[in-house]
Structure 1
Amino acid sequence: MFKYLRLVFNDHFVFALLIMIGGLGLAYSNGLKQLTTGLWWPRLIVIVVMLVVLQLGRLATLLKDADVVFLLPREQDMRQYLTSARWYSEGLALVYQLLGLFILLPFVQATMPLSVEMLAALAVTQLVLKDSLFTRAIGMRYQVAPGWLTQPAVVKWFAPAIVLAVSVYVSPLLGLLLSIVLDATLWLLNRRWLAQAFNWWRAIALENSRMMGIYRFFNLFTNVPMLKGVAKRRRYLDGLLALVKRTPGNAYLYLYSRGIVRSGEFSGLYARLTVLGMVLLYFVRGTWLPVLLAALFLYLIGFQLIPFYWQFDDIVFTHLYPIPDQVRTNSFKRLLRTLLFVTAVLFLVMVIVANQQLEVIGITAVVEVVEVLLMVQSYLPLRLRKKQ
């Protein structure tokens, strides 16, 4: 974690994060001033937000594939180990819940004022529901017979949604009572589940899934060797790929264009950063803040796509192509320029929708064009020379 967090929280991302938090905080504050009590939709927003926040924080067991062999003789000790893992994971998860409730509290007070006692009951309900999810997570690591309580949609989404709906629409105290009943039921069932054999394969698969989620987040900022990309056909993009003609001069452009489309690692990174930038630009107002945010995200996308230049270096046939390196570089420049311009247009559309000011739109367009050209014509060759 420390290895990758050092790369995640670099100077560029910290600067972008400060701008994002400031912009969202300002928009949130201004939005709260326009809200009144008696509206029908704020209660739904509270339920949805609390339900989403409830999913943050998963049981970390740190099991690996080899443990099914080397730890099998210690299976009788897994119950005690999982208890320690639970308290560690649940402690972090409860911090997430409290932070989410802290952010949501002004919205609740502005739309449906509650007494301190009712707010406390709502907060405790959220924490009890999270405890019940960890109780189920422990049981799922054992040979549990399939049932409705083992279904993720029921225990993780449907049951908490009912409890939160009762808390918001009826009474927080009644919702708290229902959450305690749900938690107690799962505790009783968990005692029966723990008497079964430990399900090594399921426990390892769940831990691998958790770690892959963390690695995908880190992959937004740097290359992660543990994250194995899977090539996908993506037939719906064949029309775009057909624009690249099959000529000797387009050999690398043909390779790069299909590689970026079918690579789950780079195409996913490009799509996620583009969508994230569009969402943030939709909520950001002002003259210079949208311009800076668009420029920062364009830089992040270009910076993360440059390593794709060496994606095929391990394939021996690419070294046998009778094609000069300059043709390869020009092909990658063309690909990078196209992707960045597509993102720039999407960012500009969001700026137009959010701001509707000719000054902001014009400045954003000029900055994006200049940045894309500098990234492709100046920064990319500099990175390639350093790599060599």
Structure 2
Amino acid sequence: MFNPNELFKQRLSEHIKLLNRYLRYIFNGHFMIALLFMIITLAVYYQRWLENINENFPAAFVIALVLGFVVSYNPIQMFLKEPDKVFLIVKEEQMQPYFRLTLVYNYVVQLYLVLIAMAAVMPLYGQVYLNRGKQDYILIFIIILVVKAWNLISNWYMLKIRNVKIRIFDKIIRTLLSIALFYFFLVGQFVVIITVFFFAVIVNNIILARRQSGLAWDVLIENDQNRLALFYRFVSMFADAPQITKRLKKRRFFASLVNKYISFKHDATFDYLYRLTFIRSGDYLSMYIRLIVLGGIIIFFVPNSWLKIIFALLFIYMANFQMITLYYHYRTSIWLDLYPVNQTIRKKAFLKLLTQLTLIQTIIFAALFLVWFDFVSLALTLVTGILFNYLFNYGYVKRKIES
């Protein structure tokens, strides 16, 4: 006899085993040490900044922005698999307890985001709103829990809608209303009106979803597959993840540059392949750009020149370390074994690309010191970045891909 509770326990157990298998690689990696250093440094400067905060700083808006995004970010993982389209769809009515349990699980797991957000904004809240006591802190926390729960429920009902545009529009509206709710709560105005609008949207979503003939199993399974693919892409930064799916993006302009500047020669086979893969496959290009932007912002706001240089090297290291997975991108493909190209050429092509990417990142970070006309720090960043580039790529990375 079909038991949805037992099915949930089985799927949850499989999910936890999967997490345990890969998380030990993540938390033992050099990446986490670098990340911990960055968090501690930012926390110290955040505390110093709070001590000298400007009276005109829009604290209410910043706090509302952070909390609004946290409560409206509610990715749902139902532990569904492709065969469920056939075998479980006939049990849709009996699956209701299963879905309720998965919603509870998603809500509890995502509370860590709430705790991180609270830890980040509460020092700012306490510095700006000195006249508010512990009851206000508790009330904000309760509001966060309630609003996040309602957002999660709304997100679940919207997964029954196949129209992607409706789901995106709903998410934007709920995010804006969540931000407005926290903002007007902090300033003490229009709280009731915003709350009514927010819950009206939630109720409308529920009514709209219930008009559907049944669950959108294809949407639910696709959502789960996307979540799993995202997890594997994250894991691939630290360990081999053969299950990772390869997503292609056209990016015609950048791809045309590869076609234009890479010669059509035997020795340039892997130069062409790795550059095109970097541009079109997965999140390599977006991850590279994100780290440059994030590193640039931190370098810009950190007041100490030595720390600026350290953060520049830290983000160069983070980008390089994560880019190593590009070499193993085709490890499950047999077609590369058919290429009549020596493996030495392949390794040289990868190291050449990695070196060029690191050099570009180093030049961008060094150029930021022109804002302060700090030519000494600019030169130090260039020299240390280039030195790190050579030692890391032709030392650690070369040994790793040859092993």
Q: Same fold judged by TM-score > 0.5?
A: yes
CA deviation profile, 1:141-179 (whole Å, cap 9, x unmatched)? 5479999899523652233233223212334xx637854
Determine if contact 1:284/1:354 at 8 Å carries over to the other structure.
no
Q: What is the aligned partner in structure 2 of residue 131 from structure 1?
A: 149
1:373, CA displacement in angstroms? Answer: 1.4
The answer to whether residue 71 in structure 2 is matched with residue 43 in structure 1 is no
Q: What is the aligned partner in structure 2 of residue 81 from structure 1?
A: 98
CA deviation profile, 1:299-344 (whole Å, cap 9, x unmatched)? 34333334534555745476453x5544444333322221111122
How far apart, CA to CA, are the structure 2 residues paired with 1:154 and 1:294?
34
Q: What is the aligned partner in structure 1 of residue 274 from structure 2?
A: 256
TM-score normalised per structure 2? 0.79
Q: What is the aligned partner in structure 2 of residue 70 from structure 1?
A: 87
Q: Within 5 Å, which residues of 2 pair with 1:1-388? A: 1-37=19-55, 39=56, 41-116=58-133, 117-142=135-160, 151-153=169-171, 156-171=174-189, 175=191, 179=195, 182-183=198-199, 186=202, 190=206, 197-237=214-254, 238-239=256-257, 242-286=260-304, 288-309=306-327, 311=329, 314=333, 316=335, 319-321=338-340, 323-350=341-368, 352=369, 357-386=374-403
1:205, CA displacement in angstroms? Answer: 2.7
Determine if contact 1:295/1:368 at 8 Å carries over to the other structure.
yes
How far apart, CA to CA, are the structure 2 residues paired with 1:19 and 1:127?
30
Determine if contact 1:65/1:204 at 8 Å carries over to the other structure.
yes
How far apart, CA to CA, are the structure 1 residues paired with 2:46 and 2:243?
38
Q: What is the aligned partner in structure 1 of residue 15 from structure 2?
A: none
How far apart, CA to CA, are the structure 2 residues paired with 1:74 and 1:257?
47
How far apart, CA to CA, are the structure 2 residues paired with 1:309 and 1:348?
27
Unmatched tracts of structure 2, length 5 or more? 1-18
1:369, CA displacement in angstroms? Answer: 1.1
Unmatched tracts of structure 1, length 5 or more? none
Larger mean CA deviation between 224-233 and 337-346 belongs to 224-233
Look up the equivalent residue of 1:126 and give its one-letter code. I
Determine if contact 1:125/1:175 at 8 Å carries over to the other structure.
no
1:18–1:359 CA distance, 2 compared to 1 (3 A)? farther
How far apart, CA to CA, are the structure 1 residues paired with 2:52 and 2:284?
41
Determine if contact 2:270/2:346 at 8 Å carries over to the other structure.
yes
SS at match of 1:134: helix
SS at match of 2:110: helix
1:21, CA displacement in angstroms? Answer: 0.9
Aligned CA RMSD, in angstroms, stands at 3.6
1:20, CA displacement in angstroms? Answer: 0.7
CA deviation profile, 1:323-382 (whole Å, cap 9, x unmatched)? 5544444333322221111122123234x2687655544433222111111234333432
Determine if contact 2:366/2:379 at 8 Å carries over to the other structure.
no
Determine if contact 1:94/1:130 at 8 Å carries over to the other structure.
no
Look up the equivalent residue of 2:278 and give its one-letter code. I
How far apart, CA to CA, are the structure 1 residues paired with 2:77 and 2:111?
14
How far apart, CA to CA, are the structure 1 residues paired with 2:31 and 2:380?
22
